[in-house]
Amino acid sequence: MARVYPQAQPHQLAQASPSSPTSSTTLQREVFTIWMKSLVLNGNGCAVYDSGGRLAYRVDNYGCRRGEEAFLMDSGGRVLFRIRRTKNLLMLGGWEGYKYSASQQEEPAPSFRAKKKQPKIFSGDEACQVTVVNADGRCYRIEGLVCKPAYKITDVVGEVVAEVKRKQTASGVILGEDVLTLVAEPNSDLSLVMALVVLCGMMGHSM
């Protein structure tokens, strides 16, 4: 299926869409529900809902090959991040994230770069680690199980910034692997956290 705005570039999408009330930084712990289902027919992505059940973010790759490119948008469809697999041979096996603002006039420089470190073969450890360095030099790590929807995002000193796991109902029933809970800790950059969640989905080829 064609893109919603088939002729537009990401910075043009940002100008064409209404602003969102979603805050970029949370002052308290925030809980979101991630439904691993694109809102665009034949797309690969997800929808993110806040604790009140309102759409907070949406993600889609608009028919691109899974793991190659995806767009993080606010509830109004404004592009916040474009995440893509890098074509740079020096970053082979890496990804880059580009952050957009409502006044963006041209393609920005990468806001973060990420590299996945595979677990050692026959080590008995399924955990993989992703190192993310953003434009201001801050470093984040994503640690979890290979091909499992359970991981943590930590900062350079090891403090947990956000955690993703399968959603559990109030009665204790664990839902399917396509329904997740995202917990973002206070003072987290929500758009960056969501971009890293998208990155994990791309690495796992779920979007």
Residues 155-190 have pLDDT tens digits of 888 899 999 999 988 888 888 888 999 999 998 899
6 confidence band (pLDDT: 50, 70, 90): very low
Cβ distance 131 to 143 under 8 Å? no
- % of the chain at pLDDT higher than 70: 74
Q: How far apart are CA 85 and CA 113, in angstroms?
A: 10
* For residue 17, pLDDT beyond 50: no
CA distances from 162 to 66, 87, 142, 203 (A): 24, 29, 10, 18
More confident residue, 143 or 90: 143
- What is the mean predicted confidence (pLDDT) over 26-33? 91
- What is the mean predicted confidence (pLDDT) over 89-96? 68
Q: What integer pLDDT is reported at residue 150 of this predicted model?
A: 84
* For residue 50, pLDDT beyond 80: yes
- The fold of 10-110+161-203 is Porin (2.40.160)
- What is the mean predicted confidence (pLDDT) over 143-156? 78
* For residue 85, pLDDT beyond 80: yes
Q: What integer pLDDT is reported at residue 104 of this predicted model?
A: 62
Q: Chain-wide mean pLDDT for the chain?
A: 78
More confident residue, 104 or 198: 198
Q: What integer pLDDT is reported at residue 106 of this predicted model?
A: 66
* For residue 200, pLDDT beyond 50: yes
**Displacement of CA 24 from its chain's centroid (Å):** 14
Q: Kindly list the domain boundaries of the chain, sorted by start residue.
A: 10-110+161-203
13 confidence band (pLDDT: 50, 70, 90): very low
29 confidence band (pLDDT: 50, 70, 90): very high
Residue-wise DSSP of 128-192: EEEEEEETTS-EEEEEEETTSS-EEEEETTS-EEEEEEE-B-TTS-B--TTEEEEEE-TT-BHHH
* For residue 7, pLDDT beyond 70: no
- What is the mean predicted confidence (pLDDT) over 185-197? 92
